[in-house]
Amino acid sequence: MKEENILDSEIRVIGGNQKPPQTPFPWRLFAIIVGVITVIGLIVWWQWPEASDKPDEPGLFEQEQPIAQPHPLVNWFASIDTIRTIGTVTKDISINDIPLRVYAPLNSTPHLEIGYKIADNRESSILFFQAADVRADNGKIVGAFVLHGKPLSWGLSKRGYCAIINGEVTVGVADNSPLFEKATNENGDFFRQYPLVDNGKLVESELKSKAIRRALCDVEGHIVVVETQTIESMHDFAHALIDIGTSNAIYLVGSSSAMGWSMDAYGNGTKMGLWDPRKIKNISFIVWAK
Amino acid sequence: MMNDFIHLDAYLVQIRHKNLHISQKKQYLCTAIAIMTNTHLIISTSNDLLRVAARHILYISSDGNYCNFFQTGGEMRLVTFQLGQIERMIADQLPELSQNFVRIGKSLIINLNYVYYIHVPKQQLILVDNQQNRYTLSASKEALKALKELIENGKL
């Protein structure tokens, strides 16, 4: 044996390199521990999504979140006789302490018009509001504009758009919309405005002042015009639009002076804004004709 | 003492181990018994058994294939084992005390506790037991020098 190999000139401390026999690795205990940890991990993993779904308890000074309520226009849309009614149905509501008036044109044909001629023929329309902005310096329309299939203006100054093709109004937010070409090809209308709501999400606006605000909105497939009754910021207005269920919305020319017209189902018309015809050549309107 | 228990536990685990050869188990059993009986070296043959307290072992010298056990008090006993086998028994049965024993060359194991005098040039090693009996041994110069250094360095 190696240990016995020692010379007379050497010494060796006995047991100096001795080690006690190694205890065999406790595989059974190890397997049990691993199994228990795995089971606990699976349980935690299984329960975790449910736990995270549970709403947190509100703090002592924390306001409890209000339970989501259906927006106030849900029942209103259902109650309207959309087959026989010809005219604009209005509803006044208040959202987030912002008084809003909702205009829903029924059984009408939407299109765009340019010029003040519409003011003289207002009896033929059940609703119209100013649509695209006009530049103050040169009187040209801001952004892409198509009138009855004829492009009158190009360019992207505002990401919101409204396309009227075959009597159907589409409101959306996009840098490039194929509906511009489609409106051109199919004798439709198209204009651009500030975006307010994009697929249910608020779009911040560069306009920071407060004014009477108007918007063209798509609320659950219904195209309506919403107008504030008090001066509001664009942000608060867009937020209120989301709260009434708007999926997409673009701005319409606002302020208390912007022209508008509404006629109810009984033929009673209401003028809005200043009807003092200014000689602005390119003033545009979105019109719902009888 | 705590180390004793740790080692004893390790040996007992080995003895219970299923895959261990019976001869190895016997050796571990001997060691476990020695640990439990604490400080005694057990040298067992088919006919007799010698049980000596480690503190009583003065030195062991080889005598051919046998060994002479010199114990304190002057008692000497011949055992029918080779010195290498005795060395292994000490290492196995006295795991904590074995480091008191030093193998010097081919023919000597001494208990360091009784080293009294080393003279390297004269190749002289003197042990003194508790009763002041002197035992003069001889070893190589190199081995004695190494032993001297070992004690000087206080490694033990």
For A125-142, give the DSSP string. Answer: EEEEEE-S-B-TTT-PBS
Which tokens belong to A74? 């849900």
Hunting for tokens 């050549």 — which residue is that? Answer: A281
Is A290's pLDDT higher than 80?
Answer: yes
Please give the pLDDT value at position A65.
Answer: 59
Tokens, residue A23: 């205890």
Evaluate whether A87 touches A263 at the Cβ level (below 8 Å).
yes
| Of B28 and A106, more confident | A106
pLDDT greater than 60 at residue A59? no
Q: Is the pLDDT of residue B121 over 50?
A: yes
- Please state at what angle helix B22-36 crosses helix B2-16, rounded to 10 degrees: 160
Mean pLDDT in residue range A107-115: 89
What is the pLDDT at residue A134? 76
Q: Cα separations (Å) of B64 from B3, B80, B83, B107?
A: 36, 10, 9, 9
Contact predicate B94/B104, CB 8 Å: no
Domain assignment present for B135: no
Residue type, A65: Q
Query: A1, A2, A5, A9: which to substitute to probe chain B, counting the most B Cβ within 10 Å?
Result: A9
pLDDT at A230 over 80: yes
- Report how far Cα A42 is from the mean position of its chain's Cα atoms: 39
Contact B17 A22 (CB under 8 A): no
Q: Report the residue of chain A nearest B140, measured CA to CA.
A: A9
- Cβ pair A6:B99 closer than 8 A: no
Residue B142 above 90 pLDDT?
yes
Examine the pLDDT at A2 and tell me if it is beyond 50: no
For residue B102, the chain A residues in CB contact (below 8 A) are 11-14
* More confident call, B135 vs A140: B135
What are the tens digits of pLDDT across the range B19-76? 777 777 777 777 677 666 667 899 988 888 888 989 899 999 998 889 999 999 889 9
End-to-end CA distance of chain B: 18
DSSP A222: E
Least CB-CB distance to A11: which of B84, B91, B147?
A: B147
> Does the pLDDT at position A19 exceed 80?
no
Å from A55 to nearest chain B CA?
Answer: 54
Question: What is the Rg, in whole angstroms, of the alpha carbon atoms belonging to chain A?
Answer: 35
pLDDT confidence of residue A225: 93
Residues 6+ apart with CB under 8 A from A92: A99, A100, A101, A102, A229
**Number of structural domains chain B divides into:** 1
Per-residue model confidence (pLDDT) at position A58: 53
Q: Which residues of chain B are within 8 Å of residue A18 when distances are taken between CB atoms? A: 91-92, 95, 98
Counting residues of chain A whose pLDDT is more than 90, the rounded percentage is 30
Report ipTM for this prediction.
0.72
Worst-scoring range by mean pLDDT, A44-53, A128-137, B37-46, B85-94?
A44-53
**Which of B13, B65, B93, B150 would best serve as a mutation to test chain A binding (most A beta carbons within 10 A)?**
B13
**Is B97 a residue whose pLDDT tops 60?**
yes
pLDDT mean over A133-159: 82
Question: Would you tell me how many other CB atoms lie within 10 Å of the CB of residue A25?
Answer: 8
B82 falls within a domain: yes
Question: Inter-chain contact A13–B6, Cβ cutoff 8 Å?
Answer: no
**Average per-residue pLDDT in chain A?**
83
The answer on pLDDT for A162 being more than 90 is: yes
Query: From edge to edge, which strands make up the β-sheet containing B115-119?
Result: B115-119, B124-128, B134-138
DSSP B37: T
**Please, which pLDDT band fits residue B137 given cuts at 50, 70 and 90?**
very high
Per-residue pLDDT averaged across A100-127, rounded? 88
Structural domain including B87 reads 37-111
pLDDT at residue B86 tops 90: yes
Alpha-carbon span A236 to B55, nearest angstrom: 96
Tens-place pLDDT, residues A180-195: 889 999 999 999 999 9
pLDDT of residue B3: 45
User: How many Cα atoms within 13 Å fall on the side-chain side of residue A128?
Assistant: 29
* Least confidently predicted of A9-18, A72-81, A101-110, A232-241: A72-81
What average pLDDT score do residues B137-146 get?
A: 94
CATH number at residue B46: 2.40.50.1020
Give me the pLDDT at residue A277, please. 65
Kindly state whether residue B125 falls inside one of the protein's structural domains: no
pLDDT score of A40: 92
- Tell me the backbone φ, ψ of residue A129, rounded to 5 degrees: -140, 160
Strand partners, A109: A289
Tell me the CA distances in angstroms from A105 to A127, A287, B135, one per residue in order: 7, 10, 127
A122 falls in which pLDDT band (50, 70, 90)?
confident
Residue A283 and residue A252: Cα distance in Å, rounded? 12
pLDDT confidence band for B116 (50 / 70 / 90) = very high
- At a CB cut-off of 8 Å and minimum separation 6, what does B104 contact? A11, B110, B125, B139, B143, B144, B147
| CA–centroid distance for A85 within its chain | 29
- Identify the residue with better confidence: B132 or A139: B132
**What is the structure's pLDDT at A1?**
44
pLDDT, position A24: 62
Helix boundaries (H) for chain A: 27-53, 74-79, 117-120, 178-185, 234-243
Segment A38-64 mean pLDDT: 69
- Domain boundaries of chain A, sorted by first residue: 25-56, 74-289
Q: How many other C-beta atoms can be found within 10 angstroms of the C-beta atom of residue B154?
A: 6
pLDDT at A96 over 90: no
List alpha helices for A229-286, DSSP H: 234-243
pLDDT of residue A221: 84
Residue A64's pLDDT band (cuts 50, 70, 90): low
C-alpha–C-alpha distance, residues A252 and A245, integer Å:
18
pLDDT of residue B1: 40
- Tokens 């690795």 sit at which residue? A25
